[in-house]
Amino acid sequence: MTTYDLALIGFGGVNRTLAEIIHNRGEELRSELGFGLRVVAITDLRLGSLVKPEGIDLHMALNLGQGASFADHGGSEDTNNESVIRTCTADIICEATFTNPEDGEPAASHVRWALESGKSVCTTNKGPVALRGPELAGLAQENGVRFEFEGAVMSGTPVIRLAKQMFTGLALDGFEGILNGTSNYVLGRMEAGLDLEAAIREAQELGYAEANPSADIEGHDVQLKVLILANELLGADITLDDVTREGISSVSPADIAKASAEGRRWKLVGSATKHSDGTVSASVKPMALPLDHGLAGISGATNAVSFSTDLLGPVTVSGPGAGRVETAYALLSDIISMHAAKKVATHV
Ligand code: HSE
């Protein structure tokens, strides 16, 4: 039976949860999915790096104490990302470092090094996909490997793959969605009476918020996701500056109370529209939606996106948009998709 060797780049909530899934459910997955998973390298800003071609003891890696380093277990205090990614024996690089909305780095380089060295990549990182997507997809093609990024939008809810694979034969001319769990959660909590800061703190504790929650609150996170969906699914060729952006910090408790009294609810809506001349316009903005609008009832960290199609009319996908387990599942789903396509270059 095939075993895929993985390198986990970044060992925060998402890749740590993927390691837990492999550690706790590896055998079950092997019989269910028909392939095994083994972690042969981990790098992390805090822990350093560890490379073991024979497989890393995940129990050890998952139970390192405060202040511990991989240097105490035969590794290094340095991340050594480039050399680990280029030279380790992994078949697949799972990239889950922080999203940099400016230029996608250093994650974009992690992806590039992996693809250049003939390794497939799955990532939950919006930066490389939104800002360098076409270049990295081209590199994957040149090297005969895969570049998968289901978790970049709506965590493990399979919106990208669903639309790419199951909407064939349909023309998509736009979408609108709730694409940020934190801001949706925060708006709901503000409706229940909390102030903005307290609601953000709760979202951070629940693991929804970005390292810098202003990315969630000010709409930067949704801007990246709208860009990804527009370019990947509508065939747009737009850049970040083409997606106009306004966050929810301008929505006051008084605005929320007024909307409530009028039978409306504030939502941060990301949308894109394909025009008859083929151009695409896209935006992120808070909107007070009437309660019978399809997105008004989407609550908590749940996300939803409604695609406008020619033959089916609107098709809406709703599901988790954030969370460690939900996002780790996206990586697993990317690996399953690679296996199905039988395009992973195995090194074992
Ligand atoms: N911080 C994001 C959200 C999760 O709250 O939706 C990952 O994109």
Quick: pLDDT tens for 123-149.
999 999 999 999 999 999 999 999 999
* pLDDT at residue 346 in the model: 60
| CA–centroid distance, residue 279 to ligand 1 (Å) | 28
Cα 210 to middle of ligand 1, angstroms: 6
Give 109-118 pLDDT, tens digit per residue. 999 999 999 9
Domains present along the chain, CATH in parentheses: 3-156+325-347 (3.40.50.720), 160-320 (3.30.360.10)
CA 24 – CA 28 distance, rounded (Å):
9
Q: Sorting pLDDT into bands at 50, 70 and 90, what band is 209?
A: confident
Distance, CA of 108 to CA of 114 (rounded, Å) = 10
- pLDDT of 136 reads 98
Tell me the average pLDDT across 315-340: 95
Residue 104 near ligand 1, beta carbon < 6 Å:
no
Which positions are annotated as active-site residues?
225
Q: Which residues pair with 320 in a beta bridge?
A: 302
Per-residue model confidence (pLDDT) at position 348? 43
pLDDT of 207 over the 90 cut: no
Residue 81 has pLDDT above 50, yes or no: yes
Tell which atom from ligand 1 comes closest to the C-alpha of 182: 5
Q: Is 43 in the pocket of ligand 1 (CB under 6 A)?
A: no
Report percent pLDDT > 90 for the chain: 91
* Cβ contact 20:54 at 8 Å: no
- Any atom of ligand 1 within 6 Å of the Cβ of 326: no
Among candidate residues 309, 107, 91, 342, the one with its CA nearest the CA of residue 224: 107
Residue in 129, 186, 216 to alter for ligand 1 test, most ligand atoms within 8 A of Cβ: 216
Cα 111 to its chain centre, rounded Å, is 14
Which ligand 1 atom lies nearest to the CA of residue 213?
1
Q: Hey, CA dihedral for 324, 330, 331, 336, is it positive or negative?
A: positive
Q: Say yes or no: CB of residue 29 within 6 Å of ligand 1.
A: no
> Which atom of ligand 1 is least distant from the CA of 210?
1
Residue percentage of the chain with pLDDT more than 70: 98
CB neighbourhood size of 318 (10 A): 19
Q: Provide the 3-class DSSP secondary structure of residue 15.
A: helix
DSSP-based three-state secondary structure for 263 = coil
| Angstrom distance (rounded) from CA 69 to CA 65 | 9
Q: Which atom of ligand 1 lies nearest, measured to the CA of 203?
A: 5
Question: For residue 181, how far is its CA from the centre of ligand 1 (angstroms)?
Answer: 5
Which of 340, 329, 12 has the alpha carbon at shortest distance from 146?
Answer: 340
Reported as a single tens digit per residue, the pLDDT across 250-305 is 999 999 999 999 999 999 999 999 999 999 999 999 999 999 999 999 999 899 99
Across-strand partners of 50? 42
Identify whether the C-beta of residue 124 lies closer than 8 Å to the C-beta of residue 331. yes
Across residues 299-325, what is the average pLDDT?
Answer: 94
Length of the chain: 348
Is residue 268 within 6 Å of ligand 1 at its C-beta?
no
